[in-house]
């Protein structure tokens, strides 16, 4: 069953809120432990479970179905530990959905964010694999979205788009495929984009000597990812 994304917003520039991992010593409980409450959390796709009157936390609906969790069911300490592990996995999943509610992310970016929030690797992997299977995380679609936005914004080179995708954690082959797909729909005029960027940059270089001006302009365009041939054409056209 698919989880619903929440509307929680995360302020830019701040670290993700820490994930609180539940810790309960079931050695202090008397066996058999008993599920004392099972309540669906409205609109979340999750269920809150209590054992012997102690709220353990939220788990997914499919975990409840698979494990036959119901009010009055007896549990061993080992089964209670499994339930607690599921609660902690679900907390990581909920945090991942909060992050995705802010904006789309690559699987690598999401993993990094969850690590910063204090999640352990095992529940992170479980959450990401679940979100990939459900379509909430789709690196190829995300890469196409970013590539298209970069191309349509103008003033960028193919190499600059690749760099932007790689910085967002997109694998090289996925980035290349995204760019090819984008360019099949949207024409990328690298020369025109470089020329426009150079004309704008030249206004800030007018006080320099011609040789220095050309050097600065060449370096500026190179940093933006334009090939040497394109840069030389631009400089020959503008004669700075």
Q: What is the arithmetic mean of pLDDT over 186-212?
A: 81
Give the pLDDT score at 13.
Answer: 46
Residues in the chain: 240
From residue 84, alpha-carbon distances to 55, 103, 127 in Å are 11, 30, 16
Give the pLDDT score at 160.
Answer: 81
Give the pLDDT score at 92.
Answer: 96
Residue 59's pLDDT band (cuts 50, 70, 90): very high
Residue 3's pLDDT band (cuts 50, 70, 90): low
Q: Strand 74-75's sheet: what is its strand order?
A: 54-60, 46-51, 33-41, 74-75
Residue 7 scores a pLDDT above 80: no
Tens of pLDDT, residues 146-183:
888 877 776 677 788 888 888 888 988 898 888 888 87
* CATH annotation of 190-238: 1.10.10
% of the chain with per-residue pLDDT over 90: 45
For the domain with range 26-134, which CATH number is right: 3.40.50.300, 1.10.3720.10, 1.10.260.40, 1.10.10.10? 1.10.10.10
Determine phi and psi for 170, rounding to 5 degrees: -85, 130
Q: What is the arithmetic mean of pLDDT over 59-86?
A: 95
Q: Please state, in angstroms and rounded to a whole number, the distance separating the CA atoms of residues 52 and 72.
A: 10
């Amino acid at each position: 069953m698919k989880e619903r994304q929440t509307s929680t917003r995360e302020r830019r520039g701040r670290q993700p809120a820490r994930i609180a991992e539940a810790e309960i010593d079931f050695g202090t409980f008397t066996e058999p432990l008993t599920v004392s409450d099972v309540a669906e959390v409205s609109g979340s796709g999750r269920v809150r479970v209590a054992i012997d009157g102690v709220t353990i936390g939220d788990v997914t609906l499919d975990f409840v179905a698979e494990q036959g969790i119901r009010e009055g069911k007896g549990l061993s300490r080992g089964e209670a530990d499994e339930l607690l592990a599921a609660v902690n996995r679900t907390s990581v999943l909920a945090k991942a959905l909060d992050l995705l509610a802010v904006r789309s992310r690559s699987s690598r970016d999401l993993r990094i964010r969850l690590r910063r929030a204090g999640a352990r690797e095992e529940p992170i992997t479980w959450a990401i694999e679940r979100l990939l299977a459900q379509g909430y995380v789709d690196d190829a679609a995300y890469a196409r979205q970013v590539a298209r936005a970069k191309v349509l914004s103008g003033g960028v080179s193919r190499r600059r788009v690749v760099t932007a995708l790689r910085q967002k954690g997109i694998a090289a082959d996925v980035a290349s495929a995204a760019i090819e797909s984008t360019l099949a729909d949207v024409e990328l005029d690298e020369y025109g984009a470089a020329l426009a960027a150079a004309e704008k940059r030249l206004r800030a270089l007018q006080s320099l000597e011609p040789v220095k001006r050309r050097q600065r302009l060449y370096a500026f365009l190179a940093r933006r990812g334009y090939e040497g041939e394109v840069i030389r054409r631009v400089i020959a056209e503008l004669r700075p």
